[in-house]
Amino acid sequence: MSSRMSCLIANEVSVIREEHYLLKDISLEIKPATITLILGHNGAGKTLLMQVLHGLTLPDEGVIDSPPASRQRMVFQKPIMLRRTALQYFNFVCPGLSIPDQHHWFDSAQLTSRMDAPARRLSGGEQQKLALIGALAAQPEILFLDEPAASLDVEATMLSESLISEACDAGTTIIMTSHNRAQAARLADQVIFMDQGCVKEQSDAKTFFRAPQSDAGRHYLAFT
């Protein structure tokens, strides 16, 4: 372990269903105020790993040491929108902000004109941005993001990446999945590469994209 304090440590974590390992013997360490990309093919276990690290799913084996759940947030690929306006949804997930702060966050996501619109009638991309600013405004220690740009166009993707980078610079630890290799290369400080429920590599991003150490990692980069 390095001398720098860790924000999250997982030690030999496994998830088992009907005697089948969905996650197996996962050990990892994530430093505070960094951006970690969990990469791998569909079915590799990326989303499940985030759910376990966040505490939504309990591991059958192993231990996770992380900040309390109240200091974490997770944004799903398809956020669940309540029967409220966009502003009411925002205030529900992040209560207590002043009106200027509310307007600041909506302006940052280019959603000011949609504040009074029903949250469920927003486009998929608008819903993703609304969920993102609701999580960011809470200033969590750890923010989990599952494919945060899946429904966004190029401009909105760049905007979201800027918000994510700013949050990291302000001290939030970001753990996210992405199928967008270019996005991963732009954002990641480190990469966790998964294959068939196992972590095959954990390294700094430059090392992974330049010279992955596993056969699975090399195959992944060759076809993405």
The mean pLDDT value for 174-185 works out to 94
Q: What are the two backbone dihedrals, phi and then psi, of residue 122, each rounded to the nearest 5 degrees?
A: -70, 155
Helix (H, G, I), strand (E, B) or coil at 201: strand
Q: Is the pTM of this model over 0.85?
A: yes
Q: Tell me which of 211 and 2 has the higher pLDDT.
A: 211
Q: Which of 76, 59, 58, 65 is nearest to 24 (CA)?
A: 59
The bridge status of strand 190-195 relative to strand 35-39 is: parallel
pLDDT band at residue 2 under the 50/70/90 scheme = very low
Give yes or no for a contact between 32 and 57, defined as CB atoms under 8 angstroms apart. Answer: no
In order of their start, the domains of the chain are: 8-222 (3.40.50.300)
- Interatomic CA distance for residues 39 and 19, integer angstroms: 25
Helix (H, G, I), strand (E, B) or coil at 75: strand
